[in-house]
Structure 1
Amino acid sequence: MKNIPLIAFLVLLTSSAFSQHIRKVKITEVEEYIKNSDHPLVVNCWATWCAPCIEEIPYFMQTVKKYSDQKVELLLVSLDFTSSYPTKIQELVKRKNFEATFFWLNETNADYFCPKIDPKWDGTLPSTLFVNNNTGYRQFFGRPMTDRQVELEVKKLVGERK
């Protein structure tokens, strides 16, 4: 009987440790996050309804984990509809065991927010920005990426030779 509060606490702690918080942001907050990053950053724009997006996220997670000693961070920016925030996004993240920093972009005008990520971005999903403010490296891809492409790009991001 004495152990019930302890067990309840441990269950609560375990469930909260595995839940991912999805922060509601404006594009200016994403810009600031990128600008103020002091480590290599992979910014992937995706949505729950985008099959190529869901397919490539594990490639990013695996590669970022491989370069964790170089503090590479994966930022997943959801462009889901308002009706999907936060429940539908949270459910997919949990079901797929996605691990990253999560933002939900609370914007509807792609003509406004796309160029703030990259001038070449036309709103296509998935799209990914690789940026390292310490080295000046910045590369944008407005298309899905393969596991090999992600690996190659993260190597460049951290300054490794091929």
Structure 2
Amino acid sequence: MKIKVYFLSFLFIALVSCKKETSKNKDLKKVEVAVQTSVKSYTYNELKPLLEKKDNKTYIVNFWATWCGPCVKELPYFEKINKEFADKNVEVLLVSLDFPKQVEKKLIPFINKKKLQSKVVLLDDINEDVWIKDIDENWSGAIPATIIYNKDKRKFYEQSFDYKTLETELQTFLK
């Protein structure tokens, strides 16, 4: 009789443990879904419509790269703006100028490590002499660079931002 009780107890514990393990695996799958596995690549002609929308939103478009120290330093400010101003019709777009061959090895792991929530796209266009001047005639091509725009106003910034300066500039578009 004692052996039967021990066996049934063992069987019960084993079944409950398996059920918990299955639950843990489901949680892991949820986490995996949150991990970014690809980044959409755009030519400049494909990206251009995202830089010229005429709806009721205000857009912040930041040109950056994982290899650019000042770009990486300011990314948390864009993320904070994206989160804090989402209910005010503000959308952040992070345009990576990373090398296309390094998307899988550098860009995607970077996005996941930093837990970037803003939309990230890759500008993969070798005609930088064309698109740099088209984005802003005074842009030297240096990054970080940012455009803030809405249907009424547009401003280009070839500079790094701290949070307060970025928020102040954005507020001028929301009035």
**Where does residue 31 of structure 1 map in the other structure?**
48
Matched, 1:137 2:163: no
Determine which of 92, 115, 128 is the counterpart of 1:97. Answer: 115
Query: Counterpart of 1:154 in structure 2: which amino acid?
Result: L
Ranges in structure 1 where 5+ consecutive residues have no aligned partner: none
Quick check: 1:20–1:99 contact (8 Å CA) kept in 2?
Answer: no
- 1:19 aligns to 2:19 (yes or no): no
Higher Cα Rg: structure 1 or 2? 2
- Taking only aligned residues, the RMSD between alpha carbons, in angstroms, comes to 1.9
The TM-score normalised by the length of structure 1 is 0.86
The separation in 2 between residues aligned to 1:118 and 1:96, in whole angstroms, is: 29
Structure 2 gap ranges (5+): 1-17
Count of aligned positions: 157
Task: Please give the per-residue CA displacement for 1:2-32, whole angstroms capped at 9, x wherever unaligned.
Answer: 6766654442233212437421111112211
Q: How far apart, CA to CA, are the structure 1 residues paired with 2:42 and 2:170? A: 25
Partner amino acid, structure 2, of 1:141: Y
Which residue of the partner structure matches residue 3 of structure 2? none
1:27, 1:116 within 8 Å by CA — same for their partners in 2? no
- Residues 82 and 118 of structure 2 are in contact (CA less than 8 Å); yes or no, is this contact kept in structure 1? no
More helix by share: 2
- Report the TM-score, using the length of structure 2 for normalisation: 0.80
Aligned to 1:63: 81
Equivalent residue, structure 2, for 1:77: 95
